[in-house]
Chain A
Amino acid sequence: MPRKSRAPDPESLLPLKTAWLHVLLAVAGGHHHGYVIRQEVEERTQGRVRLWPATLYGTLSRLTDAGLLQEAHAPPADVPDDDPRRRYYRLTSLGDRVLEAETRRLEALVEYARTQRVAREAARA
């Protein structure tokens, strides 16, 4: 893959926009096409994040352009191909690394917030 050599530093893409993060998470979780991505995000966030068609496909296109996703017209081996017009997405290795980096960034953030809370509670007590 020639693209790999020019692949940007995953850190340069952080922090991810909300829609990007949710879509990457859904695809990484084995959801490969538009409708199920939308479903998964909506269920996971209990309806707080709704990806309307234009945003969803806009995001998918931009993620593909940025090299985080790869588009294929054939489904992955374990998914039945019930609609020939359907477009399938899978994570590229860059996408994988970006998601990993973002997760680490968020973990660090959450960790910091937790320590702050402990400190606040201690101060209050």
Chain B
Amino acid sequence: MPENRGSARWVSLACRTYAAGLRLLPHATRKRDGQSMLRLFERVASEAGEHGVWRLLGVWLGATSDLVVHALRERLTRNNPTSSLAPERKANMLDALMMDVRQSVRELYRRPLFALLAGATFALGIGATTAIFSVVHAALLRDLPYAEPDRIVRLIGTRRDIANVGGTLSYLNYRDVASRGTSFTVSSGYDEWRPNLTGGGEPLLIDAAQVNAGFFQVFGVRAAIGRFFLPEQDTDGQDRVVVLSWALWQSRWAGDPSVIGRDIELNGIPHTVVGVAPREFEDPLLSGSSWQNPGLWRPFGFEGLPADQQPSRGSSSYVAVARLADDVTIERAHAELASLSTALEAEFPEQNRDVGMTLAPIRETIIGDVRGSLIIVLGAVGFVLAIAAANVGSLLLGRTAERRAEIAVRAALGATRNRIIARTVVESLVTAIAGGALGILVAIAATRWLSALVREFVPRTETLGVNLAVLAFTFATTLVAGLVCSILPAMLAADADPRASLSETPRGSTSSARSRRFRRGLVTSEVALAIVLLVGAGLLGRTLWNLMSVDVGIDTRGLLTFELAPPAARYPDAPAVHAIHDDLVERLRSLPAVQSVALINIAPLTGGFDCNPAIRPDDPDPEERICPQVRTVTPEYFRTAGVEIAAGRPIEAADRSGSRPVAVITEAMANALWPGEDAIGRHFFVVDSLLEVVGVASDVKHLRLEEAATPMVFLARDQGIIPWHGRRMTVMLRTSGDPLALAAGVRSAIADVDAQLPITNLRTMETVVSNAAAAPRFRAVLLGSFATLALLLAAIGIYGVVSYSVAQRTREMAIRLALGAKSGGVIRLVLREALTPVLLGILIGVPAAWALARVLATLLFGVTATDPSVFVLVPLALVAVAFLAAFVPARRAVRTDPMHTLREA
């Protein structure tokens, strides 16, 4: 049954492409016969579809090529009265061309091994290139779906004293800058939001965002239905409205337009749906912690709030976007921002010391981080394609050399040089097109595999696939590859001297000297390209390896994590939230194989960021204060996560409200505040609370695997030191068995406590760590695959050249052997000839790789761009592969009986 459905999809795809192909016909012909042709094709295709996809492919190829030829003929003979060529002459040229095509196809049938090798080589090269291009197209080339996207900028918070704060800024600073400045026509703050959506289906914790009323105007998009926010909806009391994303509207309300005006419950509070964003709208995902498009947006509603309920000026956790006014350049906006933030710093010296603001085009902030990686990967796949083309070129050279006698005959019979060249080019193009068609299938399979690899890392790739733009690229690539491949064979063919070629025996050793020289040149360039790829893959592979062996600071094996956020409507205050959390922890602890359970507000490497300045009471120079990551945990945390306590004690159950406020700090924090001294018993301030250090824990990675040790503070949840911590918590379970085996038990335990409580991001800690290496993995896996492919292609190329040259020289070798040469000597002779171009390729490739590796320098971790081991091992590996590829045919040459060979000749 699924097979039938699958074939129906292919049939419909075939019909659609055929229908598109009808456009090739001149208008009159299409009008008269187009519909009939399509109907006939549909009938024939669906019959073929019942016999399987291959039959369908045959019908599609047959009918499409027939259509193309027919269309060409119609256009040439009917519709072009201005051309200087008589229709008859053009038709003759077309016939000649078609004859070349037919002969080439027949030739491919007659030599299945050549066809398979050349076609598969092209298919791999073109397929890999197409797949990578589909990613590049989706992420970089596709237009951003905004009006005048180049006028949209992101405002970025900066700090003079702390680098790398993530670019977030204070909401109040943003509002002041936006209202005082003249650079922007409209702007909006932005903050991620994870409300619990209830009513109309299962409770759902959704990715959402809070924005200002002007958010959608910044992007210049129009609502699909309903409208976007009104200015007054920024004001508290009027802010209970939402705009739905197209995807959420479809999945939860099945695209029902009557959703407009309806109330939905978010965290238990009713909100009125006012509009639906257009299908193509892409949220710029400004918070950067997720690539999931938000399901809905709501206004902040900060206006009109009393000052103590507005976000504090010192809390910089917001992002902002703006649209530049028409006559304002980005430089001018930049200058204005600088002067405005200097003024704000003077106005609020307490909260705004060292705080500044800058801006960047939105395109940069969306894809800036991955552009480099994508270009590197595209470059790498280009190398693979070049190697593939060199391989096919080499095969074609061999074919042309074999056909010299035939070419000579044709030349002698009066075929012009152009006709002979055309035949060679057509043969190459036919092979390339067959390979390109297969390559599309390769690309379709590869993009499925790729989409899993890129989803965590490359934005805008949610709908990755082979679309029309990608197909156009494939077609162009195929033609270029086919033409490039035919250059050397065509040169060889054009030189055919009828007399010389005819008078030689086909086994002559000199006739193909030029072909051999060309092919050796191709091997040299393949090896050089492969070296560059292998070096890149080696460096990135070692980077990935180093990252994966980084000590995260916790024991990731046997750890299951998930997030819980009891909604404020039903759990209004901290005691209620703590009660349900504790109830859950008790239940989870009683599950089989669970060893311990703990809560933390932000688990390591999950993208969360919460830094608060820490100040020593005796601090003479507040210039040196640091901004440690602050985490709130339950007592079991250190045991559950496997964080080592280097000195003192962990957080304990006795650390509750009323007892003296304590903190466990990491070694990096201790070194930053009290370098070289014992930190236990010391005090420091965080958010106005004076904390006593009771323990020092070993360092834990918090944002990235490659980061240096980050200062961190752990606080007791029950002491409630950070008022906004404690509701959204990550639960960590340590188990003696497979963590994922617990998932069902976890879900039912939670449903027992509160069936309305959604649970998100249920995954093992090992998955979390592995996701943290998504970007390096993307680069390493792709470059590794390409390098392997390159090595394989280069080996095939070397094998092909050597076995061809051995076949050509069998007679010469037989004579040598018959005259007493040792077989070892003959093998050495062949190997020397085979390895010379390889060594030459290494001589070119190593310096090229040396130069190109610098591009990777910023992406490496724990290995330098000139790592000696990589630069020694890669050439050695290539020599070994080349040796193997050459040895097989060389041995075959000396194994045949020389007398037999000579008699044959």
Taking Cβ atoms with an 8 Å cutoff, the residues of A that contact B are: 34-35, 38, 50, 52-58, 60-61, 85, 87
Contact = CB atoms under 8 A, between A and B. Distances in A.
Given A38-B40, A54-B71, A57-B40, 17 more contacts: A34-B36, A34-B39, A35-B40, A38-B44, A52-B63, A53-B36, A53-B41, A53-B66, A54-B25, A54-B37, A54-B63, A55-B70, A57-B36, A57-B37, A60-B33, A85-B35, A85-B39
B108 interface: no
B32 interface: yes
A54 B71 CA distance: 8
B622 interface: no
A52 B33 CA distance: 13
B832 interface: no
Nearest to A37: B40
Interface in B57-71: 62-63, 66-67, 69-71
B43 interface: yes
Quick one: which of A50, A52, A55, A56 has the most chain B CB within 10 A?
A52
Interface of B: 25, 29, 32-33, 35-41, 43-44, 62-63, 66-67, 69-71, 73-74
B36 A52 contact: no
Contacts of A54: 25, 37, 63, 66-67, 69-71
B50 to A, nearest CB: 15
Nearest to B71: A54
A54 B70 CA distance: 6
A100 to B, nearest CB: 28
A52 B62 CA distance: 7
B97 to A, nearest CB: 17
Closest 10 CB pairs of A and B: A52-B66, A54-B70, A53-B37, A57-B33, A54-B67, A53-B40, A52-B63, A53-B41, A34-B40, A54-B66
Interface of A is mostly: helix
Contacts of A35: 40, 43-44
A60 B70 CA distance: 13
Quick one: which of A35, A50, A54, A58 has the most chain B CB within 10 A?
A54
Contacts of A57: 33, 36-37, 40
Given A35-B43, A50-B62, A52-B63, A58 B70 contact: yes
Contacts of B62: 50, 52
A53 B74 contact: no
B98 to A, nearest CB: 12
A87 B36 contact: yes
A122 to B, nearest CB: 35
Contacts of B41: 53
Contacts of B25: 54
A53 B69 CA distance: 12
Contact of B67 (A53, A61, A87): A53
A11 to B, nearest CB: 22
Given A34-B40, A35-B43, A38-B44, A55 B66 contact: yes
Contacts of A61: 29, 32-33
5 contacts: A35-B44, A55-B70, A56-B40, A60-B33, A61-B29
Contacts of B37: 53-54, 56-57
Given A52-B63, A53-B63, A53-B66, A58 B33 contact: yes
B320 to A, nearest CB: 58
Nearest to A57: B33
A34 B40 CA distance: 7
A87 B35 CA distance: 11
B297 to A, nearest CB: 49
A28 B204 CA distance: 69
Contacts of B39: 34, 85
Contacts of B40: 34-35, 38, 53, 56-57
A52 B37 CA distance: 9
Nearest to A52: B66
Contacts of A85: 35, 39
Nearest to B70: A54
A98 to B, nearest CB: 22
B36 A58 contact: no
Contacts of B38: 53
A61 B62 CA distance: 20
Contacts of A87: 36
